[in-house]
Amino acid sequence: MSNLFRGFRAVFFKETLHVRRDPSTLFFSLVIPLLQMVVLGFGIDTNIRQINTVVFNADGRRESRELIDRLKNSDTFHIRRYVQNDRDLNDEIIAGRARVGIKIPVDYSDRLLHQTGAQVLVLIDGSDSSVAGQAINVTTAIGLDESLRRVLKDRGAMAVEMRPKLLFNPDSRSPNFFLPGLTAVLLLNVTTFLTAFSIVREKERGTLEQLFVTPVRPLGLLLGKLLPYLVIGFAELCAIVTFMRFVFQVPIHGNVLLLGLFSLPYLFVSLSIGILVSSKANSQSEAIQLAFLTFLPSIFFSGYIFPRETMPKFFYVISYFVPASYYINITRGIILRGAGLSHLWLDALALFAMGTLLLVVAARRFQKKVIMA
Amino acid sequence: MATAPQSNGLAISAEHLVRRFGQFTAVNDVSFQVQRGEIFGFLGPNGSGKTTVIKMLTGLLPLTAGKALVEGIDVSTDPEAVRQNIGYMSQRFSLYDDLTVTENLQFYGRIYGLPPDRLKRRMDEIVQLNSLSPYLDRLAAQLSGGWKQRLALGCAMLHEPKLLFLDEPTAGIDPVARRQLWDLLFELSGHGITFFVTTHYMDEAERCSHVAYIYYGRLIADGTPNSLRELPDVQPHGTKRVEVTTPEVTRALRFARQLPGIRSATIFGQSIHALVEEHFDLNDLREQLLKNGITVGEIRPLAPSLEDVFVELTYKHQAETEAARV
C-alpha cells in the first residue's frame, strides 16, 4: 500500500519549499480572491430596484397622478422622463434609456369614474429577463391592489391574503445570497491553478521527466503536490469566511467547523481538476485555457446564478457532474439555512468520490503516457 | 529488492529493440551489450533515436518488440526495480531552480527513499566528489552551467546506482567543465560504475571505452574505438590514410582530388586527410604539390578518426539502403 504512494513525503517537502520560496504565489492566491470578493460583494445587487422608466400621461388628472406616485413608491421604478406622445415613449425604450414605458390613456380617469374598466399600457424591454419579470410582477400587483382598493372601499377584509415570509434571509440582502455561492467559485479558481501550474512548470523545466526515471509512483507524486495546496486553499477559505462574516455581515447560522470540514472534499476536487488539467497541458497558457473550461459550468450550471431546477433536463443532469453544485448547497446550507451534518453529508461524500476519481484518472494518465520528447 | 539482479557482468543487454510510433519506426532492431564499468558512448545525429533508446532502457517507453535487461532486470516486467538501480541525467539538467544545492540533493535522496543517516553520508560524499561545498546554500538558478551539471550528476548518483545514463551531459558547458566532468567519469568508472553517455563531440567519443553509432533507428557501428578504426568498411583493403599539412589547404585539396591513386580527401584545419591506394608514393605527392607552387609541411600516415569511421559507415549504410530500394 505504501508502495503505491511512494515518493509522497519527498514531493510534499519539496513542494512546501517551493511555496515558501515564492511568496508572490501565496500572496496572489490569498489576496486576489478577497479583492474579487470585495468588488463583487459591494458591486452586485441581486434585488432589482429603480428600473429606468418613461411615462406618457395622456390623462394628467388626479387619478392618473396618484397611479404614477404608487409606481414611484414601489422602489421598483425610477421615472426618468415624462413624454407627450407615443413616438417618444417608444424611442426612449429603443435607445435603452428606459426599460419600462407606461402610457396612461386620455380617458383613464373617466373610465374609473364610470367604472367601465380603465387600461394602462405597460411596455417592457424583454432583453433582460429578470428585469422584465420584476416589472411585470410589480405592475400587475399594483393594478390588482388598486382595483381591490376601489371595489372594497377600505371596509371589508380580503378573502385570501398571502403572507410571504422570507426564511434565512429576511431582508433579501444580496451578500447573503451572493457570497456563499461566490466562495465556491473563488476557491475553485485559485486551487485549480495552484496544482495545474505546479505540475506544468515541472513539465516545462524538464524535472517531471527526471522524476519519472526515479521510483516515485504517480499517486505519491500527485498527492505530494496536492496536499500543500490543500492547506493554502483552506487558509483561503478561512479568509473568505472571515470577510463574509465581518465585512459583509453575513450571519452564519450553521456550524463553522462543519463548513470547514465539508470544504475539504471540495478543495480536494478542485485541486484534482488542476492535476487532471496538467496531465493534458504542456504549457502554462494551455493550462489556463483548459482550466477556464471548468469555470463557466461552475458558475452557470451549479445553481450559483440560475436555479438548477429551471434548467432543461439535459443540463440539469449535467449539473450533477459539476462539483460546485454540491458545494454551493453546502455553503448556502450551513451559512444561510443552518443545515447540519445530517442534511449535507451526501453532498460532501459526492465531492470526495469525485475528487478520488479525478485523481486516480490523472494518475493513470501520468503513468501511461509518460512524457514524450 | 524484489528482483535479484543476475550477475553476468553485463550492465545492459539490449536484444533486437524495436520502437514504433504509429507508422514511424524510431528504433529498428537495435542490439548491443554494455559491460560493467564501461564508459559506453552512444552517438548519432539528432532525431536518430538516441533519446528513444534511453527512454526504453530506463522504462519510460514500452518496447514495441525486443528485450532489454538493465543491471540484470527486465525493463518490461519490472521498470521500477530498474529505476531504483540506475541514475539518469537529462540534457537539461532538470534541477529545481528555486531550491538550494542542499535542498535539491535532499529531495532526490528522499525520492529514492534513503534513510536520513545514509542520506547525510551520501550527501557529504557527493559534495566532496563534485567539489560543491562552497555552493551548498546557493539556489540552483544562480549556478553556472558547469556547476549545474555537477549538481545534476550528484543528484543522479545519490542512491549509489551502478549504472548512470547521461544524455548529452556536456551540451552547452565550457571546455574546462567538460574536461573536469570526463575526469570525474573516468575516476568513477574506475570504481566499477558504468556510464551510458550520449554526445555530439567526437573527442568525447574517442575517450569512451565502447562506442555505438545509431543512424535513423539502426545501429551501424558498435565496438571499441580502435576496433571500429580497423573495420574493413572504414579501412578498405589496399588503402591507407595520410595527413598532409599545408598552409594552402583549399588549393592543395583541389589539386589532390585530381591525382590518380587518391580515393577521397577532406580538409581538417591546416591539413588534408586523404584515403589513398596502398602503393601510393608519398614522396611523389610532395613533389607534385611543390611543383604546383603549394607549400607542404609534413606528410605522414594517419589512423582514421572516429569521425572518419562514422562518415564511412554512414555512406555505406546509405548506399545499402539505396540499393535495397532499387
What pLDDT is stored for residue A29 in this prediction? 86
Using CB atoms and an 8 Å cut-off, which of residues 53-82 of chain A contact chain B? none
Burial of A338 by CB count in 10 Å (0-12 exposed, 13-18 middle, 19+ buried)? middle
* Check whether domain B236-303 has CATH 3.30.70.100, yes or no: yes
Q: Give the closest-approach CA distance of A316 to chain B in angstroms.
A: 41
Whether B90 sits inside 8 A of A209 (CB atoms) is yes
Same domain, A176 and A236: yes
pLDDT over 50 (residue A32):
yes
Q: Do A255 and A346 reside in the same domain of the chain?
A: yes
Could you tell me the pLDDT band of residue A343, with boundaries at 50, 70 and 90? very high
**Does residue A227 carry a pLDDT above 90?**
yes
Bridge partner residues of B43 (DSSP): B213
Residues of B in contact with A372 (CB under 8 A): 61
Is the pLDDT score of A2 beyond 80? no
Low-confidence stretches of chain B (pLDDT beneath 70): 1-8
Task: Please write down the HEC assignment for all residues of B199-216.
Answer: CCCHHHHHHCCEEEEEEC
The rounded distance, in Å, linking the Cα atoms of A73 and A68 is 9
Report chain B residues touching chain A, CB-CB < 8 A.
Answer: 51, 55, 58-61, 80, 83-84, 86, 88, 90, 92-99, 103, 106-108, 110-113, 165
- Is pTM beyond 0.90 here? no
Over the stretch A140-163, which tens digit does the pLDDT of each residue have?
A: 999 888 888 887 776 667 777 788
Q: Which three cell numbers stand for residue A288?
A: 489556463
Determine the Cα–Cα distance for residues B75 and B71; give it in Å rounded to an integer: 10
pLDDT at A191 over 60: yes
Interior angle at CA B95, CA B92 and CA B96, nearest 5: 135
- Indicate whether A261 pLDDT > 60: yes
Instruction: Decide if A157 is inside a domain.
Output: no
pLDDT at res. B27: 93
Residue A127 in domain = yes
Q: How many CB atoms lie within 10 A of CB A321?
A: 10
Q: B43 phi and psi, to 5 degrees? A: -120, 165
CA distance B267 to B278: 21
| Record: contact B58-A18, CB cut-off 8 A | no
Residues in chain B closer than 8 A to A207 (CB atoms): 94-96
User: Is residue A160 situated within a structural domain?
Assistant: no
What's residue B5's pLDDT? 47
CA atoms within 13 A of residue B288's CA, in its CB half-sphere: 18
The CB-side HSE value for B276 (13 A sphere, CA atoms) comes to 25
Q: Which residues contact A180 (CB under 8 A, 6 or more apart)?
A: A244, A250, A328, A331, A332, A335, A336
Both A8 and A58 in a single domain? no
pLDDT in tens, B205-237: 999 999 999 998 999 989 998 888 888 888 778
Long-range Cβ pairs for the range A20-26 (8 Å, 24+)? A21/B98, A21/B99, A22/B98, A25/A194, A26/A232
**Looking at the structure, do residues A82 and A206 belong to the same domain, yes or no?**
no
ipTM above 0.85, yes or no: no
Provide the number of CB pairs (under 8 Å) joining chain A to chain B.
67
Instruction: Domain of residue A360: give its range.
Output: 2-44+172-368
Closest CA to B153 of B105, B214, B202: B105
Position A166 in a domain:
no
Q: Does A251 lie in the same domain as A213?
A: yes
Pair A351, A266: CB distance under 8 Å: yes
Specify the domain boundaries for CATH 3.40.50.300 within chain B.
Answer: 10-224
Beta carbons of B33 and B89 less than 8 angstroms apart: no
> A21–B80: do the CB atoms touch at under 8 Å?
no
Q: How far is CA A81 from CA A53, A56, A86, in A?
A: 7, 9, 13
B96 and A13 within 8 Å at the Cβ level: the answer is no
Rounded to the nearest angstrom, the minimum Cα separation between B116 and chain A is 12
Cβ neighbours for A369, distance < 8 A, ≥ 6 positions apart: none
- For residues B32 and B196, is the Cβ–Cβ distance under 8 A? no
Tell me if A373 is assigned to some domain. no
User: With contact defined as beta carbons under 8 Å apart, do A34 and A247 qualify?
Assistant: no
pLDDT for the residue numbered B3: 43
Q: Does residue A148 share a domain with residue A59?
A: yes
CA angle B47, B49, B51 (to 5 degrees): 95
Cβ-Cβ contacts under 8 Å for B300 (sequence gap 6 or more): B242, B243
Which residue bears the cell 410571504?
A164
Angle made by CA atoms B43, B48, B54, in degrees to the nearest 5: 65
A11 contacts B90? CB cut-off 8 A: no
Q: Enumerate the CATH 3.30.70.100 domain ranges in chain B, comma separated.
A: 236-303
Residues A83-142 have pLDDT tens digits of 999 999 999 999 989 999 999 999 999 998 888 888 999 999 988 888 899 899 999 999
Based on the domain organization, do A250 and A355 belong to the same domain?
Answer: yes
How many CA atoms does the CB half-sphere of A24 hold within 13 Å? Answer: 0
Nearest to A191 by CA among A38, A29, A351, A356: A29
- Categorize the per-residue pLDDT at A372 as very low, low, confident or very high, splitting at 50, 70 and 90: very low
Q: How far apart are CA A136 and CA A128, in angstroms?
A: 12
- Which of A344, A337, A343, A339 shows the shortest CA–CA distance to A170? A337
Contact A53, A79 (CB under 8 A): yes
- E-state strands within chain A: 51-57, 77-83, 100-104, 121-124
Whose cell is 608514393? That residue is B281
CB B75 within 8 A of CB B59: yes
CATH 3.40.50.300 fits domain B10-224: yes
Is A12 an interface residue toward B (CB < 8 Å)? no
Q: Is residue A164, in this structure, part of any structural domain at all?
A: no
The rounded radius of gyration (Å) of the Cα atoms in chain A is 28
Q: Please check whether residues A66 and A29 belong to one and the same domain.
A: no
- Lowest-confidence region among A45-49, A276-280, B42-46: A45-49
Domain count, chain A: 2
Q: Is residue A159 part of a domain?
A: no
Closest CA to A330 of A348, A305, A306: A348
If asked whether residues A136 and A280 sit together in one domain, one would say no
Assess whether pLDDT exceeds 60 at residue A373: no
> A34-48, A311-325, B202-216: which range is least confident on average?
A34-48
Q: Among residues A108, A124, A152, which one ends one of the domains?
A: A152
Out of A6, A205, A215, name the one closest to residue B94 (CB). Answer: A205
Co-location of A34 and A65 in the same domain: no
Same domain assignment for residues A22 and A87: no
A48 close contact with B: CB closer than 8 A: no
> Per the domain annotation, does A121 fall within a domain?
yes
Do A33 and A60 share a domain, yes or no? no
Domain endpoint, select from A92, A118, A152: A152
Contact B96 A207 (CB under 8 A): yes
Q: In the structure, what pLDDT confidence band is assigned to residue A369 with cuts at 50, 70 and 90?
A: low
A18 contact residues in B (CB cutoff 8 A): 96, 98-99
Judge: B110–A9 Cβ closer than 8 Å, yes or no: yes
Last residue of a domain, one of A85, A118, A152: A152
